[in-house]
Amino acid sequence: MSAIALPLTILSSAIFLGFFILYNKNILNGSGKPNIVTWSLFSLITLINSITYLSFTHDTLKGALAFTDCFTCLIITSLIIFKNHHFRLILLEKIIIILSILSLVIWYLLHSAVYANLLLQPAYILAFVPTLRNVWKNPAGESALVWLMWAFSFILTLIVVYIRWDNNPADFINPLIALILHTSVGLLALRKNNIGENSGFTTSLRTYP
């Protein structure tokens, strides 16, 4: 059974990356105007998350999707910074930054990547609040297909985690939270089919990448 872990890992990362490019094609081709705060926060969160997750799991296959997520966020953030977009922080974003920094402090003081990663999860959840709020108000603003395919990539990752599990429950926390959040956005976006909205790949300025 462990033999399928590598193919599943490659597939999950490929799905995530492929639909990431599709979702953000307007940013990649230079026509979009993304919010630098949103992307910078997710770059910070996914960077800390991927490093701490790998540090306590010691398993590159389990952490592959986390690093793929981090890589894509860093790419978009770099493009935005290169275009010199200006920004200011709102209260929610300040809280997210504080939680992210606290997770690093915990990691340094307690020498525990597990505690640092677990403390980071509230920041990860809070970072989704603007996306969930926007898709609730305007389901047509998000692509259900993209979000549900991202959710599917986390299902594949959870299977890999299960196959390679070493009896540490913390291994499942971040992939499970990510699955729930991505699925929630996807299901909320599906409501556009019931209210007569057209389907597009438009995004708000403060949504998740």
Q: What is the b/e burial string over 177-191, where b = at least 16 CB atoms within 10 angstroms of the residue's CB?
A: bbbebbbbbbebbbe
pLDDT of amino acid 197: 46
Percent of the chain with pLDDT over 70: 84
Closest CA to 203 of 137, 123, 135, 121: 135
pLDDT of amino acid 15: 95
Dihedrals φ, ψ of 106, to 5°? Answer: -60, -40
pLDDT higher than threshold 50 for residue 198 = no
What's the CA gap between 24 and 34, in Å, rounded? 10
Q: Does the CA dihedral 55-56-58-60 come out positive or negative?
A: negative
Tell how far CA 148 is from the center of its chain: 13
| Per-residue pLDDT reduced to its tens digit, 54-101 | 999 999 999 999 999 999 989 888 877 776 556 677 888 889 889 999
Closest CA to 145 of 200, 194, 196: 200
pLDDT of amino acid 90: 83
Question: Mean of the pLDDT values across residues 7-36?
Answer: 81
What's the CA gap between 72 and 75, in Å, rounded? 5
Question: Mean of the pLDDT values across residues 96-124?
Answer: 93
Give the pLDDT band of residue 162 (cuts 50, 70, 90). very high
- Mean of the per-residue pLDDT values of the chain: 85
